[in-house]
Amino acid sequence: MRTVAIVALLLVLAATPAQALTLEQAHEMVLPQAQLSEFRFAHDSWALTDDKAAHFGMGFTLSIVTAWLFNVHSESGQWKNLIWNTLFWTAWEVKDGHMPYEKYGKIGGDGWSTPDWGYSNAGNAGAMIIW
């Protein structure tokens, strides 16, 4: 982040040679920063809907694909795959909690949803049981 601030400061100094900044003025400059929205929770239920079926299916599919890609053939490999996919779905829900769809569009979410997380990981676990 300091590199970006230094580059921005150099660009400002280069663009305004007649109005050179003092070191104190440069330190007081406020540079725009990308900030995520405040964390929010989705108002969701555990009822089986198309969204929940999609989460289950994606959890199942991701687990099968990663098991195939990483050539998982042992019980310890299955546990590792299960853990990594659980971490992925946790990160996905955290992303949904921080990035509202109203602001970020299709990559955003409606907030952290424990039911979505649960269905994704149920698919994940089901795939590892079958594998």
- Provide the angle, in degrees to the nearest 10, between the axes of the packed helices 114-130 and 50-69: 40
* pLDDT tens by residue, 85-109: 999 999 999 999 999 989 888 899 9
Average per-residue pLDDT for the chain: 83
Q: State what percent of residues in the chain have pLDDT above 90.
A: 55
Q: Which of 109, 93, 92, 90 is nearest to 101 (CA)?
A: 109
Report pLDDT for 73.
81
Instruction: Provide the angle, in degrees to the nearest 10, between the axes of the packed helices 75-98 and 50-69.
Output: 140
Whole-number Cα distances in Å, 54 to 16, 48, 49, 97: 54, 10, 9, 18
pLDDT tier at 36, thresholds 50, 70, 90: low
Cα–Cα distance between 13 and 20 in angstroms, integer? 6
Average pLDDT over residues 25-32: 58
At 119 the three-state DSSP class reads: helix
- Asked if residue 82 has pLDDT above 70, the reply is yes
Distance CA 101, CA 109 (A): 5
pLDDT band at 10 (very low <50, low <70, confident <90, very high): low
Whether pLDDT at 46 is above 90: yes
